[in-house]
Structure 1
């Protein structure tokens, strides 16, 4: 039986995670303070370390939640014998990069590259997830000749990350929709 206090605590935790994810995506980890998270979430500043221990603990919880949301939102490839139209497959790949978590993952990427980063291993797992999902889609239609689906998955995920990175740096100069459509056309060209 869930108590009202336990429910309130879970709701507060969720509000804090949502606010922190938005702020980390917009400002980065270093530039975001507990005060920022408290203001955005409507939860007292003192509650944040109570739930997460430290700012690093909050960051790790945000990434863990984001990976869980990403995994839950990605469709599995169609079964063998199902309609495997190339358009359906390339749209599935494009969906990888349309997730709300993508901006957060790209914004925090630089922090993951720093020596002794507490999020390095999380990024290894995020990239494994993206490549694995991409590979499952590619395995449904990729020709047997040419690059392996593993190599194609690395290239596609790298291109998707690069597109988002360019868009974050200069959103007025990069049309993310057109760029993802171009990536989709390139993937369709390997068939």
Structure 2
């Protein structure tokens, strides 16, 4: 049984991760200060180094938490079936957690970025989730499942950015149906 102190420590950590995720998504990593995060979380700024060492450590905690959220989006559907990867991709775009990844994308592509490794792991996890849901024979002959997964991840990233920039101009349901129409057989549908 956890002590009251342990519970408060975990609550403080959750508040900091949640506040940082919101602010990183809205302002980016570089433009978010520790003061901003502490104020949003309603905790002392001194709590950040105690929990995470520094701002980069907090960023890692945020990205790890968001990665778990996104990876869980590629689990089984509510009906217990694996689900169509195209449906999963559109669901991923709609996840609030996805916004932080999009906001930080420009920082992630910079050489030496503290975010870069997290993005590599995120993309790998999503590609694995897509590949796992491609039934044998579902892709046209000669289409490599890994290449298809890369293509679908690229499509998701690009569509997500467009949707965040101009949500009224991007109909995600129409995008899903367009992708599905381009596929010769349904993926992961049972």
Q: Which of the five TM-score ranges fits, normalised by the shorter chain?
A: 0.7 to 0.9
Matches within 5 A, 1:28-43: 28-43=28-43
Partner of 2:175: 182
Residues 145-154 or 179-188, more deviating: 179-188
Q: Tell me the C-alpha RMSD between the 2 structures.
A: 2.4
TM-score, structure 2 normalization = 0.84
- Contact 1:159–1:183 (Cα < 8 Å) also in 2: no
Pairwise CA distance, 1:123: 0.8
Pairwise CA distance, 1:94: 2.3
- Contact 2:34–2:45 (Cα < 8 Å) also in 1: yes
2:138 to 142, 146, 160: 142
Cα gap change, 1:172 to 1:134, in 2 (>3 Å):
closer
TM-score, structure 1 normalization = 0.84
Answering whether residue 96 of structure 2 is matched by residue 100 of structure 1, we say yes
Pairwise CA distance, 1:52: 0.8
Matches within 5 A, 1:1-191: 1-76=1-76, 89=84, 90-139=86-135, 142-168=138-164, 170-171=165-166, 174-175=169-170, 178-179=171-172, 181-191=174-184
Pairwise CA distance, 1:131: 1.0
Cα gap change, 1:2 to 1:83, in 2 (>3 Å):
closer
- Contact 1:28–1:107 (Cα < 8 Å) also in 2: yes
Aligned positions, number: 182
| Separation in 1, partners of 2:10, 2:101 | 24
Pairwise CA distance, 1:122: 1.1
| Structure 2 unaligned spans of 5+ | 185-190
